[in-house]
Amino acid sequence: LYSFFSFLQQRSPASTSGDEVNLGPSANPHARPTDFDFLAVIGKGTFGKVLLAKLKADNKFYAIKVLQKKVILKKKEQKNIMAERNVLLKSLTHPFLVGLHYSFQTPEKLYFVLDYVNGGELFFHLQRERCFSDAIGYLHSLNIVYRDLKPENILLDAQGHVVLTDFGLCKEGIEAESTTSTFCGTPEYLAPEVLRKQPYDRTVDWWCLGAVLYEMIYSLPPFYSRDISEMYDGILHKPLPLRPGKSEAVCSLLVGLLQKDQNRRLGAIADFLEIKNHVFFLPINWDDLYHKRITPPYNPNVVSGLVLLSGTHFIHRFYHPVWMQLKLKPQGELSV
């Protein structure tokens, strides 16, 4: 689709044997935890936490994902963690994917030093935006299926441009005619073929895109129910509920993306090119979009000189330590 894609230099493969987790050679062999000032906990997950940090050498801010090796091994998630690392290494050149700057490790922990995207999660904004498909198309061009598109995995930068993050469920090596069959994803956004435990291909990402767009328009995912069995039944068997008042172009896009038959789904033949050429996206200049020359319709209100931590907390770039100004997590949680 674009001629700008470049890859990082070839590195030795990461180790994922049953009794160890090894990142392989670091992107920066001298990177280590003591190179950073760790300022605040900005996220928590199953395997560890995400910390806002400042690199001492240049005072730049980063989001550092710190993962506990023993938890990864206990849950047998080595392959998913290494898949995320591999995808991050390939994705650094795209403006709508979070970039990996360094990866390193200690005997107990793994560290991914990522872009700090300070506009918050789309989950908290849910405004109309039109460029998730470009990032998904880029991953497909690398033979990667994302498999977990949802508002929580879409961040906004300071200007309101979207940035896709969290590649733990990505599947590499999925070419145009390839399929996979792992049951994974988030219940509200699972495609019918995944629920049926059938082999699926890249079009699973276009279903997820349709589900996210549907939620942005109607405030809830399609077929949503607190009863998961009822929701799954809707995904598998019920017609797509489209309330009146939306444009024909929007409805056509949702119907195409949320087609239960993956072979008839929008994107099944020409992948991203079909999405790009849909009437809904005709006003978009894709070159301007890629180069961020289009002003996003929503600004996350990141104040000049401040870094957004959450919906209510800000950090001043020139004050340290920041926990003196904010009601942040206790310092004990900043251990690295």
Q: What is the pLDDT of residues 306-326, one digit of tens each?
A: 444 444 333 333 222 333 233
The 3-state DSSP class for residue 62 equals strand
What's the CA gap between 121 and 244, in Å, rounded? 28
Residues 239-256 pLDDT 10s: 999 988 888 988 999 999
What does the longest C-alpha to C-alpha distance in the chain come to?
A: 58
Task: Tell me what pLDDT residue 319 has.
Answer: 28
Strands (E), 189-324: 306-308, 314-316
Q: Which CATH class is domain 124-290?
A: mainly alpha
Radius of gyration from C-alpha coordinates of the chain: 20
Query: DSSP strand E in 84-186: where?
Result: 100-105, 109-115, 144-145, 154-156, 162-164, 171-172
Q: How high is the pLDDT of residue 96?
A: 73
Residue ranges in the chain modelled with pLDDT below 50: 1-18, 25-26, 125, 127-148, 167-176, 178-181, 183-184, 304-332
- Residue 200 has a pLDDT of 64
Confidence at residue 156, expressed as pLDDT on a 0 to 100 scale: 75
- For the chain, the structural domain boundaries read 33-116+303-331, 124-290
Give the three-state DSSP class for 308. strand
287 catalytically annotated: no
Q: Can you read off the two tokens belonging to residue 27?
A: 């992107």
What is the chain's percent helix, strand, coil content, to nearest 5? Answer: 30, 20, 50
On whether the CB atoms of residues 317 and 305 are closer than 8 A, the answer is yes
pLDDT of residue 88: 64
**Residue 121 exposure: Cα atoms within 13 Å on the Cβ side:** 12
Q: Which of 134, 148, 201, 205 is catalytic?
A: 148
Q: What pLDDT shows up at residue 336?
A: 62
Which residues are CB-contacts of 62 (< 8 A; sequence separation ≥ 6)?
Answer: 36, 52, 53, 54, 55, 101, 113, 114, 115, 116
**For residues 115 and 65, is the Cβ–Cβ distance under 8 A?**
no
pLDDT the model gives residue 155: 73
For residue 36, CA distances in Å to 43, 61, 180 come to 18, 9, 39
Residue 92 is predicted with a pLDDT of 53
Give the Cα separation of 83 and 86 in Å (integer): 5
pTM of the model as a whole: 0.60
The CATH label, of 3.90.870.10, 3.40.50.300, 3.40.630.10, 3.30.200.20, for the domain at 33-116+303-331 is: 3.30.200.20
Give burial (CB, 10 Å; 0-12/13-18/19+) of 68.
Answer: middle
